[in-house]
């Protein structure tokens, strides 16, 4: 009984000294430094708060946060949309009538992308899309602080074609297909006549 009471008092006092020590040590703050710094773990005492919008923790240059697409490098292969576990990437493609050009790594572009949407509200930042991309046009950036008032703003649109342009390309493709069909039929007729 007395032992319990004594132990209770002793442990309570231990706790009280601990908190009062922290209370009086609160005059200093830990400095906001990169975790890579050699003296990072030397800062054991002091206030740990990072006053976020005013102070920011340094992050690696190649962060794995928001997705970014360089649409000029995209060959619209749709691999990223297929591998995405949460289906947050939506791509539409239109075949071009001829090779459009080359990406920066030399791949030939044969498809137009009238729609390349990434819904960042769905994205779970697994990074699979960046690993499958053959031209490395979809990347993760060090941008992490994005907030919007409308949830629809979280869907990023990367396609740079206007609706009219897309419509025109579709028409060109239809014409080309029709021409090819006609040519094919003409060729068929020729063989039948022979």
Footprint of another protein (CB under 8 A): 5, 12, 15-16, 18-20, 22-23, 26, 29, 46-49, 51
Report the residue number, 14 or 194, with the smaller CB distance to another protein: 14
Q: Choose between 29 and 97: whose C-beta lies nearer to another protein.
A: 29
Least Å from the CB of residue 37 to another protein:
20
φ/ψ (deg, to 5) at 69: -125, 130
Least gap, CB of 33 to another protein (angstroms): 17
In the complex, the smallest distance separating the C-beta of residue 26 from another protein, rounded to whole angstroms, is: 4
Burial of residue 94, with CB atoms counted within 10 A of its CB: 0-12 exposed, 13-18 middle, 19 or more buried? buried
| Minimum CB distance to another protein smaller for 42 or for 192 | 42
For the CB of residue 121, give the shortest distance to another protein in the complex, in Å: 28
Residues 130 and 139: beta-carbon distance below 8 Å: yes
**Alpha-carbon gap, residue 39 to 145, rounded angstroms:** 27
Of the pair 46, 134, the CB lying nearest another protein is at 46
**Least CB distance to another protein at residue 43 (A):** 11
Between the CA atoms of 169, 174, 175 and 176, what dihedral angle is there, to the nearest 10 degrees?
90
Closest to another protein by CB, 23 vs 41, is: 23
Contact 100, 112 (CB under 8 A): yes
Residues whose CB falls within 8 Å of the CB of residue 43, separated by 6 or more in sequence, listed in order? 30, 31, 33
């Amino acid at each position: 009984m007395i032992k319990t009471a004594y132990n209770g008092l002793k442990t309570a006092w231990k706790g009280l000294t601990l908190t009062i020590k922290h209370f009086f040590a609160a005059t200093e703050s830990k400095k906001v430094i990169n975790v890579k710094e050699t003296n990072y773990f030397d800062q054991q005492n002091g206030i740990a708060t990072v006053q976020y919008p005013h102070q920011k923790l340094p992050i690696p240059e190649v962060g794995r946060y928001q997705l970014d697409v360089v649409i000029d490098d995209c060959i619209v292969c749709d691999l990223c949309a297929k591998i995405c576990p949460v289906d947050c990437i939506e791509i539409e493609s239109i075949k071009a009538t001829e090779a459009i050009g080359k990406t920066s790594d030399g791949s030939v572009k044969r498809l137009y992308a009238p729609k390349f949407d990434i819904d960042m509200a769905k994205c779970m930042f697994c990074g699979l899309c960046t690993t499958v991309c053959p031209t490395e046009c979809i990347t993760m950036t060090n941008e992490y602080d994005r907030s919007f008032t409308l949830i629809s703003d979280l869907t990023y649109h990367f396609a740079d074609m206007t609706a009219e342009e897309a419509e025109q390309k579709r028409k060109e493709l239809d014409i080309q297909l029709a021409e090819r069909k006609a040519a094919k039929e003409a060729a068929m007729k020729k063989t039948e006549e022979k």
